[in-house]
A and B are shown apart, each in its own frame.
Chain A
Amino acid sequence: MISKSWVALAALAVAGCDLAGGGEATEAQRGDGTDTIELAEFPDRPYWGDTHLHTDVSVDAFGFGVRLGAEEALKFARGDTVTATTGMEAKLDRPLDFLVISDHSDAMGATRRLYDSPRILVRDPTLRRWYDMMHESPEQSTRAVAELITAAANDEIPAALRDPERQAKATRDLWDNHLALLDRYNRPGEFTAFAGFEWTLMPDGNNLHRVVMFRDGSVKTGQVVPFPGLDTQVEQLWDYMEAYEANTGGQVLAIPHNSNLSNGIMFDLVGPDGGAMSADYARRRARYEPVVEATQIKGDSETHPFLSPNDEFAAFGVAGWELGNLPLTQKSTPDMYAGSYVRSGLLRGLTLEQQMGVNPYAFGLIGSTDSHTALATGDEDNFFGKHTGNEPRADRAMAGQNLGTRVGRFGWHYLAGGYAAAWARGNTRAEIFDAFMRREVYATTGPRMVLRLFAGFDFSADDWDGDWVRAGYTRGVPMGGDLEDSGRAPVFLISALKDPEGANLDRIQVVKGWVDANGEAQERVYDVAWSDMEGSRRSVGGAIPPVGDTVVRREATYENTIGTAELRATWRDPDYRAGQRAFYYVRALEIPTPTWVLFDAKRFGFDLPADVVEANVIQERAYSSPVWLRPRRASDAPRTMGEG
């Protein structure tokens, strides 16, 4: 055979005769971006990105219709114009700084392969039915994938799609090509392309998904393939991550998301087998999962009105998603919420830490899109849909979105998405990944507001007159950091700057969670600064008048005539008790603005029911990662930080 093959190979060789040999790995292939660009002394600005984006090799995204791949996704994220699957030209008005393409590791590329197969070879009756549906029409294709997701949730995926050994072979080719592409697009100082995938564990349809994100170039990431989720346990994912780090010297982290669809098991009080959680499990979870995606298209997971009855802003992005698990095969009940939302997860972390000395849920917060269109759009006026089946068109807002099988969720329940902000000294894989590891990151529901949080013991309002960022880093800790109890109330320097292209700010709040003297978990939301504090919005008995509302519903417009450009606060915890175990995070709220649903109604000219209009004027927001206050361990020598 070898001797007979020369013709075609000769043809290939002729085509490439101008390429001289050589084969040294480029910087991007070798590494993580260390020592590539000049770095700022301190993280001087947030870098914006999406860590959760699907392209045409994701089983569901392809089935839902997307035909754009990773290259289009990268081009779009860095600011180029691309043509969306449904034919519209699309371009971000502001490019992103980084992107993690996170296609599902299960059956990677499989729907595409199934779709491309000759029908006669599709023997499995279920697969053949899906195959026919995928070829029949976009609606039927969507329905087929909905069935596929439900089947996955119910552990009924046909064997042909689930054998990890067989799948790994198919994945290998895809992965190698993908990594080479990422290295080509990774550009230290300008745009960072991370390798990653989504691990999709979903016992009984309850969402335990994680996005896995690598710090390294293809020399290291090429030594593994994405780890499938079905039929595995989260501890096996950590085994995989641990082995990757040990074998390559690289680094990798995982990002849980859509805890709101987990029916209480994402932040469970017990271990995965239902028994008591072990300290080892807690340690590994904290080690490999430093951040959680708190907001995205499929709802906001910060908290729920049931859990936070005294928080007037708790209902954001909850409607529709609180009904049940991901495929709506199991209804949610209120007793499940505490394990499904981020704030109660953080509280449970404190409780578990008190019990066993390790906090499994000491995570930072980010937002991302989870878009399945290959387009990382996070703004209300550019929402390209959760998937290609609901790219912009007149009827998407009111269409049922129940994966085709059940009722309860509608198009308008989708949020336009979120973004992740990373405080880093420069735009490289190493800098941004490390910001994730130290939790110096925050979530927004889309707007690019600039949120700073420092915690220490000796900050005062005078710090604002000087170089307060330097003060923050040298005399305290930034968001994501740990403070050891000093016997005095912690003081926080907090600043929120509006998105330069967006809406003014209403207020900034501190959300505190702590374990009281009786061992009970408590939470409280403090308003710490708001617009016109000394004027028309003076606080009366702790109650602050609402900021107002300038949204013209029919026009999908608002005015920055209310609110303010920046809010700052020097805030000392008034409820501090020595020895308390607590976390503090900041929530910054914008003035009310219209959502994508109102933009759609204006663009396509249709009327919405009054309750839908009502629900689609929102206050977008940013959530900082928390700072944790930890009791000083008896064995520790007295610390002096902040005592001066």
Chain B
Amino acid sequence: MIRRALRDPLAHFLIAGAAIWGGLALLGEPVDPASRTIELSRERQEGIALGFERMMGRPPTDAEMDAAVERWVREEVLYREALRLGLDDGDAVVRRRLATKMDELAGAEAEIARPSDEALETWLAARPEAYRTGGMTSFEQVYFASEGAARAALGTTGPQGEAISLPASMSKASSREIAERFGQQFADALADLSPSDALQGPVESGFGWHLVRVTEREDGALPPLEDIRERVEADWRGATISERRERAYALLREAYTVEVE
């Protein structure tokens, strides 16, 4: 039924009108541009005062409030006259701003909506790779500036290594965290080593050479929704806002025929 309504030429007019109304609705209560009565409601006055306060961090004085109201009235008069003259028609700025407002309206609900667990589970199931945690590695390392020194120390018990301000061990570290501290080359090489009681290596890093004992490795896994709910919800929200805009547009667009000469 709505689809039929949208094909009605009257609906086109209504949509254009509604678009303008939509823009105004965001600014406060709706007004009728055809009316020559301008009502300055309490809410509107409060809105003006609040706008001032947000800007200046304090409420307006009486004189400032009068000036702000005067500016608002002036804008309102000119705005209504402009609509009467049809200046909104064919104006690229008005056109674009109203289109933007429509987009915002379409997305607005998704900004605040709370999706059901079911919706999020579906979302998660559709893209597990995005949420799979990278593997976690626990390891100890002993540092040497030269490869030769590291090799020589490999067969000894409890090699001391050389002083450096790197963690002697990391527990359940992600590969990104390891790469940030030791460099990508080391993180990649470490990923190829199996957990073992023995020191392995030497493994090269941006700093030098390391003998490494990998004590534990956990493979990546998809965490349960409750552990990553906020992140999933944020991603869902971002995607849903764009998707809703597209759907709202598609629905409206369907009613139009575009003829290109």
A residues in contact (CB < 8 Å) with B: 1-2, 4-12, 14-16, 18-24, 26-28, 45, 93-95, 113, 116-118, 121, 164-165, 168-169, 172, 177, 180, 183-185, 187, 223-225, 239-240, 242-244, 246-247, 450, 452, 464, 495, 497-502, 564-566, 568
Task: Give the most central of B18, B30, B102, B240: most A CB within 10 Å.
Answer: B18
Closest-CB distance, A391 to chain B (whole angstroms): 26
Question: Could you write out 30 A-B pairs with CB less than 8 Å apart?
Answer: A4-B17, A5-B30, A9-B22, A10-B2, A11-B15, A11-B251, A14-B251, A15-B251, A16-B106, A19-B110, A19-B240, A21-B114, A27-B230, A113-B93, A117-B92, A165-B71, A185-B234, A225-B54, A225-B55, A246-B57, A450-B165, A497-B166, A498-B207, A499-B206, A500-B183, A500-B206, A565-B145, A566-B163, A566-B207, A568-B163
Cα distance, A6 to B15, chains bound together (Å)? 8
Chain B residues numbered 57-112 whose CB sits less than 8 Å from any CB in chain A: 57-58, 68, 71, 90-93, 96, 102, 104-106, 109-112
Q: What B residues does A450 contact at CB under 8 A? A: 165
Q: Is the CB of B15 within 8 A of A1?
A: no
Q: Is the CB of A16 within 8 A of B244?
A: yes
Considering only CB atoms, which chain B residue lies closest to A502 in the complex?
A: B206
Besides A5-B18, A11-B252, A497-B207, 12 new A-B residue pairs in contact (Cβ under 8 A), listed by A number: A8-B18, A19-B113, A20-B115, A26-B234, A93-B184, A177-B104, A224-B54, A224-B57, A242-B57, A500-B207, A501-B183, A565-B145
Interface size class of B (residues with CB under 8 A): 35 or more
Q: Is the CB of A20 within 8 A of B114?
A: yes
The 5 closest A-B pairs by CB, nearest first: A243-B57, A500-B183, A22-B114, A500-B206, A5-B18
Q: Is the CB of A1 within 8 A of B30?
A: yes
Q: What A residues does B186 contact at CB under 8 A? A: 500
Cα distance, A495 to B207, chains bound together (Å)? 14
Cα distance, A233 to B5, chains bound together (Å)? 57
Q: Which residue of the partner chain, among A10, A118, A499, contacts B92 with CB atoms under 8 Å?
A: A118
Considering only CB atoms, which chain B residue lies closest to A19 in the complex?
A: B113
Q: Which residue of the partner chain, among A8, A93, A183, A566, contacts B102 with CB atoms under 8 Å?
A: A8
Task: Give the most central of B55, B104, B182, B231: most A CB within 10 Å.
Answer: B55
Q: Is the CB of B119 within 8 A of A18?
A: yes
Cα distance, A183 to B51, chains bound together (Å)? 23
User: Do A7 and B51 form a contact, CB below 8 Å, given A20-B116, A23-B112?
Assistant: no
Q: Is the CB of A7 within 8 A of B57?
A: no
Q: Is the CB of A15 within 8 A of B106?
A: yes
Q: Is the CB of B15 within 8 A of A8?
A: yes
Q: What A residues does B179 contact at CB under 8 A? A: 94, 500
Q: Is the CB of B113 within 8 A of A20?
A: yes
Cβ of B153 < 8 Å from any Cβ of A? Answer: no
Q: What B residues does A27 contact at CB under 8 A? A: 230
Q: What number of residue pairs across chains A and B have CB atoms under 8 A from each other?
A: 174
Chain B residues numbered 216-261 whose CB sits less than 8 Å from any CB in chain A: 230-231, 233-234, 237-238, 240, 244, 247-248, 251-252
Q: Is the CB of A244 within 8 A of B57?
A: yes
Q: What B residues does A1 contact at CB under 8 A? A: 17, 21, 30-32
User: Do A497 and B165 form a contact, CB below 8 Å, given A15-B248, A118-B93?
Assistant: yes
Q: What B residues does A502 contact at CB under 8 A? A: 206
Considering only CB atoms, which chain A residue lies closest to B240 in the complex?
A: A19
Q: What A residues does B163 contact at CB under 8 A? A: 464, 566, 568
Closest-CB distance, B231 to chain A (whole angstroms): 6
Closest-CB distance, A564 to chain B (whole angstroms): 8
What is the interface of chain B mostly: helix, strand, loop, or mixed? helix
Closest-CB distance, B182 to chain A (whole angstroms): 6
User: Do A184 and B112 form a contact, CB below 8 Å, given A5-B18, A565-B208, A566-B207?
Assistant: no
Closest-CB distance, A471 to chain B (whole angstroms): 13
Cβ of B164 < 8 Å from any Cβ of A? Answer: yes
Task: Give the most central of A7, A164, A183, A187: most B CB within 10 Å.
Answer: A7
Cβ of B181 < 8 Å from any Cβ of A? Answer: yes
Residues 151-184 of chain B: 1 if any A CB is under 8 Å from the residue's CB, otherwise 0? 0000000000001111000000000100111111
Q: What B residues does A10 contact at CB under 8 A? A: 2
Closest-CB distance, B109 to chain A (whole angstroms): 5
Q: Is the CB of A566 within 8 A of B114?
A: no
Q: What B residues does A8 contact at CB under 8 A? A: 14-15, 18-19, 22, 102, 252
Q: What B residues does A121 contact at CB under 8 A? A: 91, 93
Cα distance, A497 to B206, chains bound together (Å)? 10
Q: Is the CB of A7 within 8 A of B119?
A: no
Residues 38-68 of chain B: 1 if any A CB is under 8 Å from the residue's CB, otherwise 0? 0000000000000100111110000000001
Q: Which residue of the partner chain, among A5, A21, A93, A501, contacts B206 with CB atoms under 8 Å?
A: A501
Closest-CB distance, A596 to chain B (whole angstroms): 21
Q: Which residue of the partner chain, among B14, B102, B119, B237, contacts A184 with CB atoms under 8 Å?
A: B237
Considering only CB atoms, which chain A residue lies closest to B243 in the complex?
A: A15
Residues 1-31 of chain B: 1 if any A CB is under 8 Å from the residue's CB, otherwise 0? 0100110000100110111011000000011
Cα distance, A242 to B56, chains bound together (Å)? 11
Cβ of B138 < 8 Å from any Cβ of A? Answer: no
User: Do A497 and B244 form a contact, CB below 8 Å, given A20-B113, A118-B91?
Assistant: no
Q: What A residues does B208 contact at CB under 8 A? A: 565
Q: Is the CB of B115 within 8 A of A19?
A: yes
Cβ of B215 < 8 Å from any Cβ of A? Answer: no
Considering only CB atoms, which chain B residue lies closest to A119 in the complex?
A: B92
User: Do A568 and B231 form a contact, CB below 8 Å, given A500-B181, A500-B182?
Assistant: no
Cα distance, A94 to B18, chains bound together (Å)? 47
Considering only CB atoms, which chain B residue lies closest to A48 in the complex?
A: B180
Q: What A residues does B109 contact at CB under 8 A? A: 12, 16, 19
Q: What B residues does A180 contact at CB under 8 A? A: 111
Task: Give the most central of A5, A121, A242: most B CB within 10 Å.
Answer: A5
Cα distance, A565 to B186, chains bound together (Å)? 15
Q: What A residues does B206 contact at CB under 8 A? A: 498-502, 565
Q: Is the CB of B6 within 8 A of A11?
A: yes
Q: Which residue of the partner chain, among A5, A45, A183, A568, contacts B181 with CB atoms under 8 Å?
A: A45
Cα distance, A498 to B238, chains bound together (Å)? 38
Q: Which residue of the partner chain, among A21, A117, A501, A564, contacts B184 with CB atoms under 8 Å?
A: A501
Q: Is the CB of B165 within 8 A of A566?
A: yes
Cα distance, A479 to B252, chains bound together (Å)? 59
Q: Is the CB of A184 within 8 A of B238?
A: yes
Cα distance, A113 to B91, chains bound together (Å)? 12
Considering only CB atoms, which chain B residue lies closest to A18 in the complex?
A: B119
Q: Is the CB of A566 within 8 A of B164?
A: yes
Q: What A residues does B102 contact at CB under 8 A? A: 8, 12
User: Do A15 and B247 form a contact, CB below 8 Å, given A2-B30, A566-B207?
Assistant: yes
Cα distance, A566 to B166, chains bound together (Å)? 10
Q: Is the CB of B165 within 8 A of A45?
A: no
Q: Which residue of the partner chain, among B14, B113, B145, contacts A21 with CB atoms under 8 Å?
A: B113
Cα distance, A94 to B185, chains bound together (Å)? 13
Q: Is the CB of A14 within 8 A of B2?
A: yes
Q: Is the CB of A168 within 8 A of B92?
A: no
Closest-CB distance, A14 to chain B (whole angstroms): 6
